[in-house]
Amino acid sequence: MLNDTGTEEIVSGDVITHRVGMNVASKFPQSPRIRRLAQRSRELAISGKRRLGSAEMPLGDHACWIHIGPFPELDQLPSRANRYEATGESWGRDYAFLVDHFPIDLHEDERIVGEIHWEMHMVRQYVWPEEVLAVGRRAHALGASGVSSGHTCPDLAIGLSQGWGGILERIKQSREKYLRLDNRPKASYLHGLQMICESVIRFIQRHAEKALELAQAATDPWQKRTYERVADCCAHIALNAPRTYYEGVQWIHFAVLLDRVVGHGNGYGRLDLYLIDLYRKSKAAGELPDEEAREYLSEMFLKLRGHFFCLGGRDAELKDATNEMSFVVLEAYDLIGDYNNLGVMWHPDINREFYDYACDVLARHGESIPVLVNYDLMREAQMRSGIPEEDAWKVAYSGCQWFCIPGKEFCDQDVNSIDLLEPMKRTIAAGIAQGTDDFESFYAIFEQELTTTARALCAWKNAQYERLGDLWPEMFTSMNSHGPIEHGIDMVGPRGVDYQYTSVNILGIPNVADSFHAIRRLVFEEHRYTLADVKAATETNWQGREPMRQRFLNQDKFGNDLDDVDALLTRITETLSDVLGSMVNLRGQPFRASLFHFQGHLNPAAIGATPDGRLADQYLAHGINPQVGRNNTGLLATANSIAKIDQRKFQGGTMQVELQPKFFDGKDDIWTYVRGFSETFFRKGGIQINLNIMDLNTLRDAMDHPEKPEYQNIIVRVTGYASRFICLSREYQQEFVGRVNYEGF
Amino acid sequence: MAELKVRVIEIIRGTTHDGPGVRTTLFLKGCPLRCAWCQNPEGLNSEPEVWWESRRCIRCLACLDACPTNALTDGHAGLLRDRRTCTRCGACVAACPSRAMSFNSRDWPIEALVKEALKDRDYYQTFGGGVTVSGGEPLNQVNGVVELFRRLHEAGVHTALDTCGLAPASAFAAVLPHTDHVLFDIKLLDSGLHQTHTGQPNGTILGSLSLVADHIRNVASGMKLWIRTPLIPGVTATRENIHAIGLFIRNDLSDVVERWEFCTFNSACRSKYEKMGRLWSYADKPPMRQGEVEAVREAALSAGIDAGIVVVSGLTMT
């Protein structure tokens, strides 16, 4: 029988084991209740009900929504039943209709409730007019792409302090103002926001009603009391700001859940700062045992899946912002050992005990949670873009490799990209045509070609930005942002929020650096081959030219701490920063390069062979990490190579590490290795570490035998996000197990 | 005077077994011993050698064309090199597009070697590590090691010497003032067996060990000494040998030895023998079983060795 906190019958020293990774021992025992909730979550993942991507190409099991079939009232959706309009008002009406038709799911054992089953992308059309698409096709032909969709971060502190009722009141006032002033477009947008906000309130109220019904029918006293508490909580937070820590977590759960209805990769900000006041209040009132504080968050993590929250960092005075909640959040993950996307923002003054615990959690579980990021560099990167100091400190690690000022920034993170191999190919062709015979002239052509691609991207993004606020506004996120309600402009619209730089992921930087280095040596210095040879060889996948390929392959490569080739890579990144930084979007703000690409490297066939000796069917380098198999001087050498890049000029660039568990055999205090490595890397200029501690050889077996119990809970950080290994597509699995598996430093 | 160079077979960064903390280990070429189980056969000969890696070779045979003395032939099992006619001129190495044909050592100017060794200096500081020279027998190139250590000390970097002990007293006298840590091999205490299995008696080696011990006692009390014994089944890993070494450490060295490490045998280096075109009698020997290693540990403890100083490293089977 469970007691009131549901923590009776604890099996002490619960050990989760799997052969592939570390032998994980959670610091905290799981209550039977949490164990059942975790089991349900696992079943949803393994049965494909959490699948992101298609059945043919699953990207993982980190979807927030749970598949239960198509939306039954699709035909009645206002934009389908009546008339589609590209306006915020029409968008908001659809959103409200969808949420009003969500079933209310309450499950036994749950104290944090609410789930969703459909996203706006599935029901409402998002189609660009032909004249915009034509601009996109031109960009695509030059190696640039990207359709805007979310990938920003709200400031949940707004709703936590005002409640949905407070937000609704502000929307109504603003709408009345613009009606009075006869600004119909703004009033129409605000009407859309009002419909959304009211549907949110109804959704939460419906949970309260359902919980009351279930409480009346429940016979088990603990379950009955739990339903009553859920009912009480939801009845209050539907309109009001949360009063307790429990209500705060439930409030955040609904806010993230209903944000995910839009269906995109938003981050959600600094969870320890959001919750600290409520935590202290509930603690002071003596109503919050430690295990309860952990379990609420564990439940939320199990239900929300694809969320990014972060911890640590600094406060407005640039003092360490770590607080008691920072620990509780990590403990909540430690308790379940299931994936999520927590990030710990390190800086030299961070609370030692907290950072030690973060490294301990990461080492023990070995599943790249938390991600470790360098707060000071992120803050400086924001300031370098022009964000004033009074906002820059608020920076939050918000997604794969990116960071943003919650509620004040829409930078189109992670959706835009430049395939750097395209301008490289054109550079080689132009070099042949112009008879280029020295590397500097060759590089000058590359700068021009990159500029051509960047301009095409700029035109494509601006064509989207002209209409984005009407076609696909981020209305839910805008409710918890600074500006949209008062301005009557969506956060994606012109200056809807203060910061609207356009972020651009770059594919293949290490491949281009390695290629250029080989060309510099073999074409321009040794004159062993011509550019025409290089073009012919790569276009025919090196057919009949194996000795030539070997020569290109066996030049020095990025990632070995070799100054020559590393300097070339760094030069390319600087060129990217200069070229993109000189382009201005419709909001008057520059483009920013991000040294990362979340999946482009998995599609090598579209790119063909490259002059670094890579064959057409080999995966490209992942983000800024060396091409697999080319860094053979160890982890520290690779870390040094990556640390040579001036990360203040970019929107992130992750170092991905797969370390073999046996490295830690016979070693005490294994977390000290994680701490020592990460802190040294950060002090040298690194910005992010994703660390999986896995035996990739053993993991190969999981590809063919996903049914084995030991593989059910293997979590890996794939690129920017974490997922269950067996829920990934074969391509992703193949790429993952093919990575360099470091045996040590 | 010619620029001082150090002949290095390999540089491994981020090591955690060759002394304290995280280190860079430099393996130097040339060794006076000929242990049958040698894990670094490319470190034996002090002259540069060409070796051939079949995994990398694309059989383009550019090396055959390039060889001025026709020392290479394309045999069934791969490329064969006639050691008598090969002049080690390196023409085949230069001609090889895939680095299959390569020199198994590189002569590093001291300046460049110091620069290389300092690349992970920040990590040495974090983890209390530094630079270890190993081999081969590093003291075969004592002038280079002394200069290297001197410069590393100038840069504030911790230095460790991994030695088999077979070097003149003058070499130890030169290097010890610049050394923070010594890893000293004792393979077999019986000199006759030592001669049989390594090609040399152990008198000089034990003499060197006393020099190191006296240096710690009289000059450098902060210097650390770790004894290392490779566990070779049937040779060094016998109860008699381990017990004897144990008694020796307890009686003569317990005041200066901080650790006694058993390095279990593995045959992972067999590909190096293949690359060198040499047969190796240990190629198919399996890793030791945990039970065997346990017996060795017990033999050590039975000699009165403090369990706290015994460490086992390397691969074992259950």
Q: Give me the domains of chain A, ranges plus CATH numbers.
A: 1-61+266-406+654-745 (3.20.70.20), 71-125+155-264 (no CATH), 132-152+412-653 (no CATH)
- Distance of alpha carbon A65 from alpha carbon A102, whole angstroms: 11
Q: Is A676 near chain B, with CB under 8 Å?
A: yes
Minimal CA–CA distance to B136: which of B268, B271, B8?
B8
Would you call B119 and A640 a contact, using CB atoms and an 8 Å cutoff? yes
pLDDT score recorded for residue B65: 95
Q: Which amino acid is at A647?
A: Q
Would you call B13 and A680 a contact, using CB atoms and an 8 Å cutoff? no
Q: What chain B residue is nearest to A673 in terms of C-alpha separation?
A: B127
Distance from CA of B314 to the nearest CA of A (A): 10
- Chain A residues with CB inside 8 Å of B12's CB? 634
Minimal CA–CA distance to A40: which of A306, A365, A262, A305?
A305
A519-559 residue pLDDT tens: 999 999 999 999 999 999 999 999 999 999 999 999 999 99
- Distance of alpha carbon A407 from alpha carbon A154, whole angstroms: 4
Q: Which pLDDT band, with edges at 50, 70 and 90, does B1 fall under?
A: low
A287 CB-near residues (< 8 Å, 6+ apart):
A244
Residues of chain A with pLDDT under 70: 1-19, 23-24
Q: Is A685 near chain B, with CB under 8 Å?
A: no
Nearest CB neighbour to A676, from listed B58, B126, B312: B126
Would you call B60 and A666 a contact, using CB atoms and an 8 Å cutoff? no
Distance from CA of B85 to the nearest CA of A (A): 26
pLDDT score recorded for residue A237: 98
Q: What chain B residue is nearest to A667 in terms of C-alpha separation?
A: B16
pLDDT score recorded for residue B97: 97
- Give the residue, A666 or B12, on which the prediction is more confident: B12
- Chain B residues with CB inside 8 Å of A566's CB? none
| Token pair recorded at residue B67 | 């060889």
- Distance of alpha carbon A392 from alpha carbon A385, whole angstroms: 10
Q: What is the pTM of this model?
A: 0.94
pLDDT score recorded for residue A282: 98
Would you call B60 and A546 a contact, using CB atoms and an 8 Å cutoff? yes
pLDDT score recorded for residue B268: 85
Nearest CB neighbour to A680, from listed B15, B62, B123: B123
Would you call B22 and A546 a contact, using CB atoms and an 8 Å cutoff? no
With left for phi above 0 and alpha for psi between -120 and 50, is residue B313 left, alpha or beta?
beta
Neighbours of A221 (CB within 10 A): 11
- Chain A residues with CB inside 8 Å of B15's CB? 744-745
- Chain B residues with CB inside 8 Å of A546's CB? 58, 60
Distance from CA of B119 to the nearest CA of A (A): 8
Q: What's chain B's length in residues? A: 318
Which residues share a beta bridge with B184? B163, B227
Minimal CA–CA distance to B66: which of B77, B45, B50?
B50
Distance from CA of A677 to the nearest CA of B (A): 7
* pLDDT over 70 percentage in chain B: 100
- Distance of alpha carbon A368 from alpha carbon A594, whole angstroms: 21
Would you call A676 and B122 a contact, using CB atoms and an 8 Å cutoff? no
Q: DSSP secondary structure string, A176-218?
A: HHHHHTT-HHHHHHHHHHHHHHHHHHHHHHHHHHHHHHHHHH-
Minimal CA–CA distance to A686: which of A624, A745, A642?
A642
Place of tokens 């699995």: A733
- Chain A residues with CB inside 8 Å of B127's CB? 673, 676
- Chain B residues with CB inside 8 Å of A683's CB? 122
| Token pair recorded at residue B219 | 């000059």
Would you call A676 and B123 a contact, using CB atoms and an 8 Å cutoff? yes
